[in-house]
């Protein structure tokens, strides 16, 4: 099946087809920022702290729009400004992003607090339910704050050896 731009996927493998859309880190980080941080504007994405160049950001927003992951709409407060919004197809990525977050916190050094990850892991259904509710109600409040780099990032290994609960 050809994509929106008429390109034929490399293979019929669902992972390969998905990577055609999300084959770089920026696309998933934009989706993450929309989903869990409530970002809606180009400026918010630009200032997210990831260091994305403006030309790359504009390109990824365009590609995500072409893939049906996000859409644009005029801002209520200023019709000249554009707000980005996840589509149903885009918000359907919530379980994938939640599992990526949990997986990385278990296996890599991250700035994610152990207690936050453990709570999310134990309450997956509630986290996803709240994510979907906020999307449906257009609630821009963040579900998670931006994770800060720590002097000693935490991993699953350090959790097991240094449990501070």
Query: Where in the sequence is the domain holding 134, given as residue range(s)?
Result: 14-159
In a domain, 6, yes or no: no
150 vs 79, which has greater pLDDT?
79
Q: Are 90 and 64 in contact (CB under 8 A)?
A: yes
In a domain, 7, yes or no: no
In a domain, 41, yes or no: yes
Name which of 35-39, 68-72, 79-83, 97-101 the model is least confident about. 79-83
Is the pTM of the predicted complex or chain greater than 0.85? Answer: no
Q: Where residue 93 sits, what CATH number does that domain have?
A: 1.10.10.10
Name which of 27-41, 42-56, 90-104, 147-161 the model is least confident about. 147-161
Query: In this prediction, what percent of the chain has a pLDDT beyond 90?
Result: 52
In a domain, 9, yes or no: no
* Total count of domains within the chain: 1
Average pLDDT over residues 122-145: 91
Q: Is 73 helix (H, G, I), strand (E, B) or coil?
A: strand
Name which of 29-38, 56-65, 147-156 the model is least confident about. 147-156
In a domain, 2, yes or no: no
What confidence category does residue 158 fall into, taking pLDDT thresholds of 50, 70 and 90? very low
108 vs 155, which has greater pLDDT?
108
Average pLDDT over residues 57-64: 96
In a domain, 56, yes or no: yes
Six-digit token pair at 38? 């409530």
In a domain, 86, yes or no: yes
Q: Are 89 and 68 in contact (CB under 8 A)?
A: yes
What confidence category does residue 145 fall into, taking pLDDT thresholds of 50, 70 and 90? low
- pLDDT for 34 equals 94
Secondary element (H or E) of residue 9:
none
Among the listed residues 124, 118, 112, 139, the one whose alpha carbon sits nearest the alpha carbon of residue 34:
139
Would you say residue 72 has pLDDT above 90? yes
Q: Residue 84's Cα: distance from chain center in Å?
A: 13
Would you say residue 161 has pLDDT above 60? no
In a domain, 164, yes or no: no
């Amino acid at each position: 099946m050809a994509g929106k731009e008429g390109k034929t996927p490399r293979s019929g493998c669902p992972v390969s087809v998905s990577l055609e859309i999300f084959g770089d880190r920026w696309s998933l980080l934009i989706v993450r920022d929309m989903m869990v941080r409530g970002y809606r504007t180009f400026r918010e994405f630009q200032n997210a702290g990831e260091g994305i160049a403006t030309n790359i950001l504009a390109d990824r927003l365009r590609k995500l729009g072409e893939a049906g992951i996000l859409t644009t709409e005029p801002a209520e407060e200023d019709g000249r400004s554009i707000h980005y919004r996840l589509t149903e197809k885009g918000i359907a990525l919530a379980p994938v992003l939640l599992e990526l977050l949990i997986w990385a916190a278990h296996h890599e050094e991250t700035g994610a607090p152990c207690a936050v990850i453990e709570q999310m892991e134990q309450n997956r259904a509630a986290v996803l339910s709240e994510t979907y509710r906020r999307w449906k109600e257009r609630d821009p409040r963040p579900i998670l704050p931006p994770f800060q780099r720590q002097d000693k990032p935490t991993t699953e290994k350090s959790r097991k050896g240094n449990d501070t609960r």
